[in-house]
Homo-oligomer: A and B are copies of this chain.
Amino acid sequence: MSDLPYDPDRLTACAAEIIATTRELSTLGWTPATSSNFSMRLDADHAAITISGRDKGGLTPADVMVIDLTGAAVNTSARPSAETLLHTQIYRRYPAATAVLHTHSRTQTVASRLFAADGVIRLKDYELLKAIAGHTTHETQLDLPVFPNTQDIPELVARVEAWIQADKPLYGYLIDGHGIYTWGRDMAEAERHIEAFEFLLGCELDLRRLQA
């Protein structure tokens, strides 16, 4: 029996899922220059997360570490990235969430800069909104917030918290000049969400160029 505070088999399985997804998103060019990070929930109190600063195209299990939901490293000397707190916030606030993805595509960065002053991107009338959990029709609108960037991660956590406290639905968010955070009940749903947001943001940028 393991003395670890988490199930090592669950860690092995989660690390494999994280590595596979990371490779896919890296191939799409959404993780430039060692940016981006990815995590999965291990249990009510722990998550597995990529160690920051690694090239996302060729991760191995050694590039995945365990944290508790306060963001502290567990059973490792690796130092979790400051942004880890944005992952643990999702796991604490949304008990059903088991995967959190943060990428950094050009479309995400450009959209965040363009809509930073508005603080939100309103997405509507797209069939692909149905790819976001809980949406069954395109006749809907989804508000994707754009928070100001800061190196003070607790400040960012507080902005996300304020949005949630205001009872506004939250399926993901952008950080200005930075990238996107989104999540899902499993890795497949999280991937569906990040693909859908990337697509919808790309359409919004194209339409803005075309309707100018």
Contact = CB atoms under 8 A, between A and B. Distances in A.
Interface of A: 32-35, 55, 104, 106, 109-110, 113-114, 125-128, 131, 136-139, 149, 151, 175-179, 188, 192-193, 195-196, 198-199, 202-203, 205-212
A199 B128 contact: no
Number of identical protomers? 4
Nearest to A114: B210
Contacts of A198: 32
Contacts of A179: 127
A141 to B, nearest CB: 12
Contacts of A188: 55
Contacts of A109: 126-128, 199, 203
Nearest to A24: B57
A177 B110 contact: no
A4 to B, nearest CB: 32
Contact of A137 (B32, B151, B195, B208): B151
Nearest to A112: B127
B137 A207 contact: no
A127 B199 contact: no
Contact of A208 (B32, B128, B199, B210): B210
A32 B211 contact: no
A114 B207 CA distance: 7
A199 B207 CA distance: 18
Nearest to A125: B177
B35 A206 contact: no
B210 A106 contact: no
A151 B177 contact: no
Contacts of A176: 125
29 contacts: A32-B196, A33-B128, A33-B131, A33-B192, A33-B196, A34-B131, A35-B128, A35-B131, A104-B128, A106-B199, A106-B202, A106-B203, A106-B206, A109-B203, A110-B203, A110-B206, A113-B125, A113-B203, A114-B210, A125-B149, A125-B176, A126-B177, A126-B178, A127-B149, A127-B175, A127-B177, A137-B151, A138-B151, A208-B210
